[in-house]
Amino acid sequence: MIPNHKVKDALRLSPPGQPLQGHIRPPGSKSITNRALLLAALAKGESRLTGALASDDTAYMAKALKAMGVGIESPDATTFHVKGTGHLHAPGETLFLGNAGTATRFLTAAAALADGRVVIDGDANMRKRPIAPLVTALQSLGVSIEAPTGCPPVTIDGRGRVAAGDVSIDAGLSSQYVSALLMLAPCGEGPIRIVLQGTGIGARGYVDLTLAAMHHFGAEVLQKDEVSWTLAPTGYRARDFVIEPDASAATYLWAAAVLTQGTIDLGVPASAFTQPDAKAYSLITSFPHMPAVIEGSQIQDAVPTLAVMAAFNKTPVRFTDIANLRVKECDRIHALATELARITPDLAREEGDDLIVTGDPALIGRRTDAIIETYDDHRIAMSFALAGLMMDGLTILDPDCVAKTYPGFWNDLGSLGVRLERIT
């Protein structure tokens, strides 16, 4: 029994006692699925998205688009049929998007194309995640939009179109602000030029992911330098689109194989992924000799995976340039430091916006009574599952929060031979 805790259940892991072997196909990319859903919705005609992710985040996006008049059907668990008209309608009620950052940021911009008022809101965690830079940028394009707290809820009075012109954006907190503007821009009344304020941008690789998806759906983008893009008013054309597996999800499986000295076939080599987090593969495979310093700005969602691995590394690891992790689904820097310290004191600490994991190979094979709080954050739950492969008795609270991006995660681990015990 887990006493005095509000969550309904927990999961206790036991090390497999042998190398993990098997074949696991990770779910489709959340990042690409939500981009493709929006672009197909803004296109004229029917698009078929295959290999898509079915999870809480993509369900929020699909439900919101349906409420705005887009036809979306799911004939199976990994396919969306999207019928767009090139227009969005004002929904009859608030669009509740849980803690889905991509859906919230992308739809905040796209709502400018609706024919009336759109209110976008989320859960308590989403209401703490900044959106003011995007709001300010949209206001400069003449969009009537307000977010009084600087976080959701956001109210947009759409005019069915967006004016041409130049817009600057501060992307220091999130690349999703840039992606949101980029995807909106081809629907402008004329060319729109987007310029970064400064050169800082969180996870620039996700902007490249956005641009690739936009090109697929017919957008024309001129990029003369690293800080500006000019987009022609082409709109989008319906296209079929194949979505690759989620690289962030793949990091847990790559790490599980390395930690247990096993082999897990994902059906796709690491080199074939286009998502930024795939760059973490070389760091994962460097265990137990991980670098002394890991710069995490371009592999943000892989940092929890690497940090938990670093707990068993032979030498300390400092994670730098990860300040943006403080405004994810939770403050991940604080969460990682706090929960690693539950395993053993001083295993990790915060130093400014850096995370230092001291590393202790002697922990491998030990028993632990650590109970890991997950902060309603899927990545905290999945990354600490890796610690459960190395130490007996680790308990993870609220394990079902993984449904945000990887609903089948625990089943996949179990199929590889990991022993999981549900407790209440």
DSSP character string of 253-299: HHHHHHHTT-EEE-SS-GGG--SGGGGGHHHHTTTTS--SEEE-TTS
Name the helix (H) or strand (E) containing 223: strand 221-225
239 marked as binding residue = no
Cβ burial 55-72 (10 Å sphere, 16+ → b, else e): bbbbbbbbbbbebbbbeb
Residue 315 in this model has a pLDDT that exceeds 90: yes
Structure-block tokens of residue 421 = 């015990």
105 marked as binding residue = no
Per-residue pLDDT band at 7 (split at 50, 70, 90):
very low
Structure-block tokens of residue 420 = 């999981």
Per-residue pLDDT band at 2 (split at 50, 70, 90):
very low
Which burial class, exposed, middle or buried, applies to 192 when counting CB atoms under 10 A from its CB (0-12, 13-18, 19+)?
buried
Among candidate residues 121, 170, 176, the one with its CA nearest the CA of residue 147: 121
Residues in a beta bridge with 48: 81
Q: How far is the C-alpha of 272 from the C-alpha of 309, rounded, in Å?
A: 23
Residues in a beta bridge with 195: 168, 228
415 marked as binding residue = no
228 marked as binding residue = no
The values of phi and psi at residue 240, to 5°, are -75, 150
pTM of the model: 0.93
129 marked as binding residue = yes
Confidence (pLDDT) at 423 = 92
Number of residues written out for the chain: 424
* Pairing state between β 228-231 and 79-85: unpaired
For the beta sheet containing 228-231, the strands, ordered from the edge strand earlier in sequence to the opposite edge, are 165-171, 192-201, 228-231, 221-225
Residue 180 in this model has a pLDDT that exceeds 60: yes
Q: What is the mean pLDDT of the chain?
A: 95
* Pairing state between β 154-157 and 228-231: unpaired
144 marked as binding residue = no
Confidence (pLDDT) at 100 = 95
Residue 227 in this model has a pLDDT that exceeds 80: yes
324 marked as binding residue = yes
35 marked as binding residue = yes
Q: Strands, DSSP E only, in 86-153? A: 95-96, 117-121, 144-146
Task: Give CA 190 to chain center in angstroms.
Answer: 31
For the beta sheet containing 154-157, the strands, ordered from the edge strand earlier in sequence to the opposite edge, are 95-96, 117-121, 154-157, 144-146
Name the helix (H) or strand (E) containing 167: strand 165-171
332 marked as binding residue = yes
Confidence (pLDDT) at 384 = 98
Q: Which are the catalytic amino acids?
A: 301
48 marked as binding residue = no
* Pairing state between β 43-50 and 236-237: parallel
Q: How far is the C-alpha of 119 from the C-alpha of 354, rounded, in Å?
A: 36
Name the helix (H) or strand (E) containing 302: none
30 marked as binding residue = yes
Sorted by where each starts, the structural domains of the chain and their CATH numbers stand as: 10-27+245-423 (3.65.10.10), 30-242 (3.65.10.10)
Question: What percentage of the chain carries pLDDT values higher than 90?
Answer: 93
Confidence (pLDDT) at 4 = 42
More confidently predicted of 113 and 199: 113
Per-residue pLDDT band at 138 (split at 50, 70, 90):
very high
Confidence (pLDDT) at 199 = 66
DSSP string covering 38-96, please?
Answer: HHHHHEEEEEEEES---SHHHHHHHHHHHHTT-EEEEEETTEEEEEEES-B---SS-EE
pLDDT digits (tens, 9 = 90+) for 28-79: 999 999 999 999 999 999 999 999 999 999 999 999 999 999 999 999 999 9
237 in helix, strand or coil? strand
